Structure 1
């Protein structure tokens, strides 16, 4: 009986291993609400501001406030964003990418871009 109980406990602990929610791909049919207006604080040395965003929790959108995260040398931070694809919404989690900085996301590294912070990129 003890062996059966121990085997059940081991099997149960292996079966309950969960993937962190931050690594899961989220795809939903409901569009996120418009982003909320947040005051961006002044820059802090050694930190990057991660702006607030809508997350998907318990079958509905939940606002996550912006926060400071420690900077990583040699990496740049991409904020979380929702993208619509074929009538469904997919959340791209915030992440760190190694390599060249491209502030406006136009594919041209800042050091070669005439206007690296152009919010109206084509």
Structure 2
């Protein structure tokens, strides 16, 4: 049994079936790729050293943004940090793809904590929100026996 679309008789007699079917095959698997995706994850820690996760959420005060002669109050960004007891794995080497335009900035991949384990978030090209913006990369900082994760952001 065929899963190919069936054309109306008028289209079949007009010789449209081959181009129509070709377009169907071209667009059949089209899907947009997510901004980031999991590439790999390290093995789980040994049973006796299970990581403990604590997530805290803080917000900063609203900022005033001036555009031309008009001042706008920007909504307060939410900053979320994750604290765990297991050290993050070593950074992975990435292949940097061709730069889409001279304005795009490469955002390197990083380890994040999801579903009780580290997951690698692949690097990608991104357009800065404004011409003077600089990317502050996500990072893990050691604090005693814990590791705290700070999300990346445009500054």
1:80 corresponds, among 128, 138, 151, to 138
1:7-35 CA deviation, whole Å, 9 max, x = no partner? xxxxxxxxxxxx9xx84211111111001
User: TM-score, with normalisation over the residues of structure 2?
Assistant: 0.45
* Aligned-partner Cα distance in 1 for 2:152–2:127: 13
* Aligned-partner Cα distance in 1 for 2:127–2:79: 19
User: TM-score, with normalisation over the residues of structure 1?
Assistant: 0.57
Map residues 42-121 of structure 1 onto 2, 5 A cutoff. 42-43=98-99, 44-71=101-128, 72-97=130-155
Structure 2: gaps spanning 5 or more residues: 1-57, 59-77
1:41-100 CA deviation, whole Å, 9 max, x = no partner? 344322111101001001110011001111232210011111111111111211111xxx
Q: Which residue of 2 aligns with 1:25?
A: 81
Query: What is the number of equivalent residue pairs in this alignment?
Result: 77
- Give the secondary structure class of the aligned counterpart of 1:54: strand
Structure 1: gaps spanning 5 or more residues: 1-18, 98-122
* Aligned-partner Cα distance in 2 for 1:78–1:40: 18
- Is this contact kept in 1: 2:91–2:110, CA < 8 A? yes
